[in-house]
Amino acid sequence: MKLKQSLSLLAALAVSATTLAWEPSGRVECIAPADPGGGWDFTCRSVGQVLEELDLVPGNVQTTNMAGAGGGVAFAHTVSKRGEDDQLLVAASTATTTRLAQQQFPGMNAGMVKWVGALGADYGIIAVANDSEYQNLNELMDALKEDPRSVKFAGGSANGGWDHLKALIAAKAAGVENLPRIPYLSYNNGGEAMTQVIGGHVDAFTGDISEATGFIESGDLRVLAVLAEERLPGRLSDIPTAREQGIDALGPNWRGFYMPADADPEAQEYWVAAIDELYASEEWEAVMARNGLIPFHPPANEFESFVTDQVADIEQLSREIGLLR
């Protein structure tokens, strides 16, 4: 028994020594590849706050908003100018892998960064202003079937990005033809897109539940459908799924991070472990509950392959609906 206890103590000390081999010092930066108000901004700011609460960083996490090219500006900046930065995290999501899949980051690919981990998934929604004529998803899709150009969508990703794809996935599942003719207006973030919908300038919003919660709670935005397997828990449980309206459309969007590929391997290990610890915390559980995130956290040794596989799947989908040749 004593020998077993001694071995366990030595193993714990070894793990502790490895964990403490590198720790962040000074300023930690999180780049949100969009203007304030969208999903990437939410990821940086909410994760940064919990990292601070758990004492996993020495001070505040600085969020830097770096909009442009659907995340391409931040990706290129990370690869070309910050390639060895140990204290840099960059918010990512299915929108990031979508742009990579569609070759929208010229000369770059998913292997040029280190994929740190995911902290939950955010389901896509299709929503309208509270006073919209469309009362459910089928009414909106019927309008598209009659004339694909009759409904204008707005989203926070670029044309052909993940927000755009979610609208097309739903339309395709509903039997709408001529998908490329459906109007989609791209804005720098989801907040700006929702403002245009609420203001009556655009018919419908396509985005994620977490970025829309404030507008939903204020009564300005009405969600026609969440693109999930089943209804979301808690206060979001009154939102119907597309599936229960007879439209088999799913649109999960994971939220997580990448970091420079050439950073110190021990720094990469630290951030992977930090994300693991954060994901398991009560503080992050509360953030997920408040913002409609669902559990999604692939093991560290599987996340890289998950990203690679998702890029391949989205590339195929983009070809099927004519967004990529």
| CATH 3.40.190.10 applies to domain 123-252 | yes
User: Could you tell me the CA-to-CA distances from 118 to 2, 6, 123, 167 in Å, in that order?
Assistant: 40, 35, 14, 24
C-beta separation of 31 from 41 below 8 A: no
> What pLDDT shows up at residue 320?
79
CA distance 202 to 44: 28
CA distance 273 to 209: 27
Residues spanned by CATH 3.40.190.10 within the chain?
A: 123-252
> What pLDDT shows up at residue 18?
41
Q: In order along the chain (325 residues), what is the average pLDDT of each group of 10 residues?
A: 40 42 93 92 97 96 95 97 97 94 93 96 95 98 97 91 92 93 93 96 95 94 95 90 96 94 96 97 94 87 91 86 79
DSSP-assigned letters across all residues of 236-272: GTTSPBSGGGT-----EEEEEEEEETTS-HHHHHHHH
φ, ψ of residue 24 in degrees (nearest 5) = -65, 145
> What pLDDT shows up at residue 8?
39
> What pLDDT shows up at residue 1?
41
| CATH 3.40.190.150 applies to domain 24-122+253-320 | yes
The total of other beta-carbon atoms located within 10 Å of residue 191's CB is: 22
- Tokens describing residue 48: 């940064």
> What pLDDT shows up at residue 147?
97
C-beta separation of 198 from 212 below 8 A: no
> What pLDDT shows up at residue 324?
82
Q: Which helix (H) or strand (E) holds 64?
A: strand 61-65
Residues spanned by CATH 3.40.190.150 within the chain?
A: 24-122+253-320
> What pLDDT shows up at residue 263?
96
> What pLDDT shows up at residue 294?
86
> What pLDDT shows up at residue 292?
80
Contacts of 74 (CB under 8 A, 6+ apart): 31, 32, 33, 66, 68, 90
> What pLDDT shows up at residue 313?
83
φ, ψ of residue 38 in degrees (nearest 5) = -105, -170
> What pLDDT shows up at residue 290?
86
